[in-house]
Structure 1
Amino acid sequence: MYANLVNKNTQTQLTVKVGFSWTEMIFGFWTPVFRSDFKWAAILVLAEILFGSFTWGGGAFLVTLIFAFFYNRLYVKDMLAQGYTPSDEISANALKNYNYI
C-alpha cells in the first residue's frame, strides 16, 4: 500500500510505501541511500558491519531482514517530523491503519 505526503512549506510531494519493505530486504543499506535518508543508511551500515563481522556475513542478512519490517515506518515518521502531511484522506487512512500516525 502506498500513501502520498505533501510538505506545505516547500510544496514537495512524496509517495511512500506503507508496510513491509521488500527493497530494504533485498538491497540493504542502499534503500535509505537512494531515498536520501543518510541517518538510517549510516545506522544500517554500522549494524551490518557489526553483526556481519562476527558471523561471516550471515548477521548482515539477518539485520536487513529484521530492519525490513521497520524501515518504512521509520522513514514515514521522519518525513512527518520534517513537516510532511498526508495529501488526501486515503493516504491519511492508510497511515492510520498501519499506526504510522
Structure 2
Amino acid sequence: MQNPFGNNNQDFFNNLPIPPNYAKIINDQGDIRIAKVGFSWTTLWFGFFPAIFRGDWYNFLVMLFIDADYYLVSVVFGWQWMFALPFPAIFFGFVYNYLYFRHLFHKGFRPADQHSQEVLTRAKYWK
C-alpha cells in the first residue's frame, strides 16, 4: 500500500500508514493506542464524547464536571450569553489530546517508535 501522507511512517500492527501528526504508544502488555497530537477538533465539536469513545473515563469525568460547573454558574448568575460561547469546548479542544496522552503515560504507556517519540517530544507531551 502506498503511503498517502508522504512520510515513511508505517504502522507495524496493520502495515497501515499513519499521518505525521499522530503518535503510536504501547504498554508492556502490548496494548497499542494511536492518537492525534495537537488540537482536538472532535472535542471542540462533540465535547466529552471523544473521551467516551476512547474509553478515557478520567478525562471524561473532568470534562463533564467542568462543563456542568460552567453552565451551572451561567444559570445561577443569569448570564445567558455564556450559553452562546462554549468556553469549555474551546479550552478542551486545545488541551484534551495532551491530557489523554499524559494519562496514558501515567498508566505505563510509552512511545512505540522513533517517529512517535519525536512527535511527542516536539509537542512537549513526552519528556
Tell me the TM-score normalised to structure 1 length: 0.90
What stretches of structure 1 of length at least 5 have no aligned partner? Answer: none
Alpha-carbon separation, structure 2, partners of 1:17 and 1:59 = 28
Shift in alpha-carbon separation, 1:67–1:59, aligned structure 2, 3 A = farther
Describe the SS at the equivalent of 2:39: coil
For 1:25-77, what per-residue CA distance to the aligned partner results, in whole angstroms no more than 9, with x for missing partners?
01101111111111111121121122123144627721011111011011101
Q: Which has the higher contact order (CA 8 A, sep 6+)?
A: 1
Aligned length: 100
Query: Is 1:100 aligned with 2:125?
Result: yes
Report which stretch shifted further, 15-24 or 53-62.
53-62
Report which stretch shifted further, 85-94 or 48-57.
48-57
Tell me the CA shift for residue 98 of structure 1.
0.2
- What stretches of structure 1 move > 4 A for 4+ residues in a row? none
Pick one of 74, 86, 111 that aligns with 1:86: 111
Match of 1:25 in 2: 44
What stretches of structure 2 of length at least 5 have no aligned partner? Answer: 1-20
Question: Which aligned pairs between 1:13-92 and structure 2 lie closer than 5 A?
Answer: 13-53=32-72, 54=74, 55-56=79-80, 58=83, 61-92=86-117
Q: Greater Rg, structure 1 or structure 2?
A: 2
Describe the SS at the equivalent of 2:86: helix
Which is richer in helix?
Answer: 1
Alpha-carbon separation, structure 1, partners of 2:116 and 2:86 = 31
Alpha-carbon separation, structure 2, partners of 1:35 and 1:91 = 19
